[in-house]
A and B are shown apart, each in its own frame.
Chain A
Amino acid sequence: MDTKPYMQDRAAEEFFSRLSEGKFQSTRCRGCGRVHYPPRVVCPECLSGEMEWVDLPCEGILLAFTWQEAAIRCRKPEVLGLVELEGVGNVFTRVDAPYEDLHIGMRVTFSTWTSPDGLVLHQFRPVGNT
């Protein structure tokens, strides 16, 4: 049974392929320098189509977190959260920590996680926890 998400566009394929190599990257517009998340093939700021892949910040602020009762691929309950990356935006992500240990506003840092069916995804854990 294929539980992988639809790779709905080329940029998403590229994003997850880089992630599988441990690289947390997205596109930056060569025209205006804006970093987009999620990655894009056109820039909504200046409408340029010239992109390069750059590293995203590996640390951010935990804006909110929860877990979901029903999901495909991910175990349950899997802790999920929203992380604000400065200058980039909000990243919806897995959180690598027990729900009870989390609070809004804490600093979190990037790592990767391989789902039971082999998809490499990003996750964040509280800074200082190893």
Chain B
Amino acid sequence: MKEVYVAGVAMADVGRHILDPHELGARVCAEALRDAGLLPREVEGIATTPHGYMADFRRFPSQRMADYLGITAGFMMDVDSGGNSSTAAVQVACDRIRLGRISSCLVYAAQREVPKKEVQKDVLGHFHLIRAANSLYDTYQAAYGVISPLPFYAMAVQRYMHKYGLEPEDVARVAVLLREHALRHPQAAYKEPLTVEEVLLSPLVSPPIHRLESSEMHDGAAAVVLVSEELLRDRSRAVRIAAVAEAHDPTNFLPYRGEIDEFPCVERAVRAALAESGYRVEEVDVAEVYGAFAGLELIMYERLGFFPRGEAPAAVREGRTTHGGDVLLNPSGGRLSLGHPAYVTPLLEIVEVVRQLRGEAGERQRPGAAVGLVHTEQGFINGSIVMVLDREMS
């Protein structure tokens, strides 16, 4: 099997965008191709995701982009599996390259949502979008008016806090740390520092989750260029995809059986990815973790194996997850403070890990970072994909 490398990465600032998502996508695709030193005519595959959850539904975005950039593809795919979509696209593209079917693939995502303020200003005019959000859940969950997985996550965090006797400060602290990380990132959506008091004084959106412990839907775009060795133009900046693994649980949003704060798919995915890569979790220098809420961020640190159950809050408090710690977790600011365009998020995670492994992460750089991990999830963490990346050893 051939090795697969990330040769080019690009991301737009996370926040609000005026450009159409297709145009925003074209910009990051062009930038990622320049970064890889490839021209569109050298690209053999293209894959993407929908432009958002509440966005107007537009089909075949990858075909439109192939036309726009002039890509003659031997592989094309539009993926929609929620938060895992763009990692799933990367995974399939990787496999196509490993098999030798194609030798390069552009994977991008561009998301632009109807701003929340506009929805609130004219609820009736946007009711089709609200109904669509409600219909994501099965009837037994949707009947209670659910339009986001927030109440499900709230109950999972409540049980996690209950089991380990955690205080609100234990959860708030990770939101504060992620904000500190984001302040080192010029493209992050949030620019103001945050304190534990501010987090705990922010309104409860679904107890025990405070507003400042939950991620907002942002606009954004990112692209990555995957290549086989022959198309690698600059070995010194190459990052290898050492492993990708995927695991799902037989659940759809809130589990009807068993514990709701376990998320066993994460453990299976990370175990498989590490085994395939040959690294132990202790060897991971830097990781981007898909934690859409502060409490879930902590649970994910534990499920990924960085800390035993119930010990992530202490690890955060002791500085073990930040610069100078055991492992640098979410140096980008994570979903809470980099910002969270959900379909783009997995690519933003890959962009950050690639920049870290190349030594190009500026003020956020973990010195000597050689092994990185990316974790993404879909639904109510009903499924997870974990990637392990490393620096090219020449």
A7 to B207 Cα, complex, angstroms? 29
- Assess whether B140 is in contact with A92, with CB atoms less than 8 Å apart: yes
Q: How far is the CB of B146 from chain A (nearest CB, A)?
A: 6
- Assess whether A5 is in contact with B155, with CB atoms less than 8 Å apart: no
A82 to B129 Cα, complex, angstroms? 27
5 A/B residue pairs, CB under 8 Å, sorted by A: A12-B139, A72-B130, A92-B144, A99-B207, A104-B158
Given contacts A6-B135, A37-B256, A99-B207, contact A66 B143 (CB under 8 A): no
- Assess whether B159 is in contact with A1, with CB atoms less than 8 Å apart: no
Which of chain A's residues has its CB closest to B257's CB?
Answer: A89
Which of chain B's residues has its CB closest to A2's CB?
Answer: B131
**B206 within 8 A of partner (CB):** yes
**B150 within 8 A of partner (CB):** yes
Q: How extensive is the interface on chain A, given as a class?
A: 35 or more
- Assess whether A5 is in contact with B150, with CB atoms less than 8 Å apart: no
Question: Which of A5, A65, A90 meets B254, CB within 8 Å?
Answer: A90
- Assess whether A90 is in contact with B260, with CB atoms less than 8 Å apart: yes
Which of chain A's residues has its CB closest to B158's CB?
Answer: A64
Q: Which residues from 139 to 164 on chain B have a C-beta closer than 8 Å to any C-beta of chain A?
A: 139-148, 150-151, 154-156, 158-159, 162
- Assess whether B159 is in contact with A90, with CB atoms less than 8 Å apart: no
Most chain A CB atoms below 10 A, which of B124, B208, B255: B255
Which of chain B's residues has its CB closest to A66's CB?
Answer: B154
Interface SS of chain A: helix, strand, loop or mixed?
Answer: mixed
Q: How far is the CB of B255 from chain A (nearest CB, A)?
A: 7
- Assess whether A64 is in contact with B159, with CB atoms less than 8 Å apart: yes
**B134 within 8 A of partner (CB):** yes
Which of chain B's residues have a CB closer than 8 A to the CB of A73?
A: 143-145
A121 to B144 Cα, complex, angstroms? 8
- Assess whether A89 is in contact with B143, with CB atoms less than 8 Å apart: no
**B205 within 8 A of partner (CB):** yes
- Assess whether B146 is in contact with A104, with CB atoms less than 8 Å apart: no
**B138 within 8 A of partner (CB):** yes
- Assess whether A16 is in contact with B143, with CB atoms less than 8 Å apart: yes
**A78 within 8 A of partner (CB):** yes
Query: Can you add 8 more A-B contacts, CB < 8 Å, to A6-B135, A92-B140, A93-B144?
Result: A64-B158, A66-B208, A67-B207, A69-B203, A69-B204, A69-B206, A73-B144, A89-B256
- Assess whether B150 is in contact with A69, with CB atoms less than 8 Å apart: yes
- Assess whether B159 is in contact with A5, with CB atoms less than 8 Å apart: no
**A125 within 8 A of partner (CB):** no
**B127 within 8 A of partner (CB):** yes
Given contacts A63-B260, A66-B155, contact A71 B124 (CB under 8 A): no
Which of chain B's residues has its CB closest to A74's CB?
Answer: B145
- Assess whether A92 is in contact with B141, with CB atoms less than 8 Å apart: yes
Which of chain B's residues have a CB closer than 8 A to the CB of A121?
A: 143-144
Ordered nearest first, which 3 A-B pairs have the shortest CB separation? A71-B145, A64-B155, A74-B145
- Fill in one digit per residue for B208-249: 1 if any A CB lies within 8 Å of its CB, else 0: 110000000000000000000000000000000000000000
**A9 within 8 A of partner (CB):** yes
Which of chain A's residues have a CB closer than 8 A to the CB of B147?
A: 70-72
Q: How far is the CB of B379 from chain A (nearest CB, A)?
A: 14
Question: Which of A1, A9, A80 meets B151, CB within 8 Å?
Answer: A80
- Fill in one digit per residue for A40-72: 1 if any B CB lies within 8 Å of its CB, else 0: 000000000000000000000001111111111
Given contacts A68-B206, A90-B260, A94-B144, contact A6 B151 (CB under 8 A): no
- Assess whether A6 is in contact with B139, with CB atoms less than 8 Å apart: yes
A64 to B143 Cα, complex, angstroms? 18
**A119 within 8 A of partner (CB):** yes
Which of chain A's residues have a CB closer than 8 A to the CB of B145?
A: 3, 68, 71-74, 78
A78 to B142 Cα, complex, angstroms? 14
- Assess whether A38 is in contact with B150, with CB atoms less than 8 Å apart: no
- Assess whether B206 is in contact with A82, with CB atoms less than 8 Å apart: no
- Assess whether B151 is in contact with A5, with CB atoms less than 8 Å apart: no
Q: How far is the CB of B165 from chain A (nearest CB, A)?
A: 12
A64 to B206 Cα, complex, angstroms? 12
